[in-house]
Chains A and B, each alone.
Chain A
């Protein structure tokens, strides 16, 4: 009997600090599977964010660099320009990439930096205690919008992928989800393509991964994946955006 599925070698064999049902665990594993399959473990450099994934470098068996809050793409630009033969990717959440780091994100995309961006969108601030994120859906209850997000007061959910897709420097943008095994497989395919784009020098590739945050959605893990499939994907439709 052969072992047909086990953890990738690039993923360190220690338990993660994430809550039960958190999408970060799946996203971490997918990145590692792609790194192993493309055999780029000695070449890849990850830039980790501030947010729940702040200690992602503890779980990955390849080189990583920590960036200040929101500045992962600025740091990644520096690394890539000094070491063009290395593959550089950033792994950022919505608070990092879409809130405090919006300027860095837009300018790195506009410059068409040859980088891969893994963007985890869970519609809430996880690490700081469940406050409203720019990607929070309308009428979604969070710690700072206890009556639900109201467009008049807090604005509309920020669709960063659609926003970036109109920039000529951007090569590819895809939105994927982690709410079912089939979607996990297509998420892996998108991440792999984003790394291949960088290897071929095509330019800025972003993969937006919709992820569940059961703790701050106030739902059971099983209900939170249903919420993602039914509610979140209506606001953030899946598929290739550019």
Chain B
């Protein structure tokens, strides 16, 4: 199954990936990173359902998040 990884120390919390993820699988994290910024996290499986993503929606590896990320914090696997 395709997935992404987000470098939480590199993320500056602009949340552009959050609005462009077509499946709604990226959400702001509740913890802060070392710089005191609220990074985003990738939701998989049960966590995705708990955070309100549509049921049965999985990452398709469309790369939208990686293309829009100004900080190169996203890596995509497929």
Q: How far is the CB of A99 from chain B (nearest CB, A)?
A: 24
- Interface residue tally of chain A, by bracket? 20 to 34
A73 to B76, CA, bound (A): 37
A1 to B68, CA, bound (A): 22
Query: Is A83 in contact with chain B by the CB < 8 A criterion?
Result: no
A35 to B31, CA, bound (A): 37
Chain A, range 1-47, C-beta contacts under 8 Å to B = 1-7, 11, 15-16, 18-26, 29
Are A225's CB and B16's CB within 8 A?
yes
Are A221's CB and B75's CB within 8 A?
no
Contacts of A7 in B (CB 8 A): 72
Partner of A221, one of B15, B66, B67, B78: B15
Chain B, range 1-35, C-beta contacts under 8 Å to A = 2-3, 10, 12-16, 18-20
Are A181's CB and B77's CB within 8 A?
no
Minimal Cβ-Cβ distance residue in B for A11? B72
Against A, the Cβ 8 Å flags (1 = close, 0 = not) of B48-78 are: 0000000000000101101111111011111
A156 to B14, CA, bound (A): 31
